Chain A
Amino acid sequence: DQQVKQNSPSLSVQEGRISILNCDYTNSMFDYFLWYKKYPAEGPTFLISISSIKDKNEDGRFTVFLNKSAKHLSLHIVPSQPGDSAVYFCAAAYSGAGSYQLTFGKGTKLSVIP
């Protein structure tokens, strides 16, 4: 059973507009959430993260929102640029487990159209 779900396999957005990528999780033990970005033939790269004690974290054009009661998080990219075209993975972790393994969703392929 998927503990981290990204229900949209793909998303197309016009350059300059907002991209919103969504993620849901089922495990209440998760207390740390991350977004990774992946280009073809490369490994995933860390983008932004949020602890469960916060509901928003912002880094430049990227903002992550966390709704703990709904077990939902989203990544907003404003404004979207063609270089943002990649696969975005949502990941979650339970920091108290001492393992630090990340549980990933299946990813959403974002295409930003010039």
Chain B
Amino acid sequence: GAGVSQTPSNKVTEKGKYVELRCDPISGHTALYWYRQSLGQGPEFLIYFQGTGAADDSGLPNDRFFAVRPEGSVSTLKIQRTERGDSAVYLCASSLAGRWDIQYFGAGTRLSVL
């Protein structure tokens, strides 16, 4: 597809479980971003990749959160020992190198931790 694809669109899990959220960016976009949007809030930055490396992970809330982008394309956000407070919509965005201002967002993965 032409846009940013995120799977699954919805994920329900139990407290303490491990989850993986996948992001497929627009082809040719070297920059990739993860944001988290809680109810009633705007998107909150988590991590930014330039190519395969995490250029800025200052938004990750704690060490239960980890993200990878091994081949510089698809990225996976991993959350260990999920907590109810992790429930949110997780948004992925991508952009062309040098055009960080125009980030293209996916529809997000809605994570519900019971």
Once the chains bind, are B107 and A103 in contact (CB under 8 Å)? no
Once the chains bind, are A106 and B41 in contact (CB under 8 Å)? yes
User: Which residues of A come within 8 Å of B, CB atoms?
Assistant: 4, 6, 32, 34, 36, 41-46, 49, 89, 91, 93, 95, 97-107
**Given A91-B42, A104-B35, A106-B40, 12 new contacts (CB under 8 A):** A32-B101, A43-B91, A46-B104, A95-B100, A98-B55, A98-B56, A99-B55, A100-B31, A101-B45, A102-B45, A104-B43, A106-B41
User: Which residues of B come within 8 Å of A, CB atoms?
Assistant: 4, 31, 33, 35, 40-45, 48, 55-56, 58-59, 91, 93, 95, 100-108
Question: In whole angstroms, how far apart are the Cα atoms of A13 and B59 in the complex?
Answer: 36
With A101-B33, A104-B43, A106-B41 in contact, do A43 and B106 touch (Cβ < 8 Å)?
A: yes
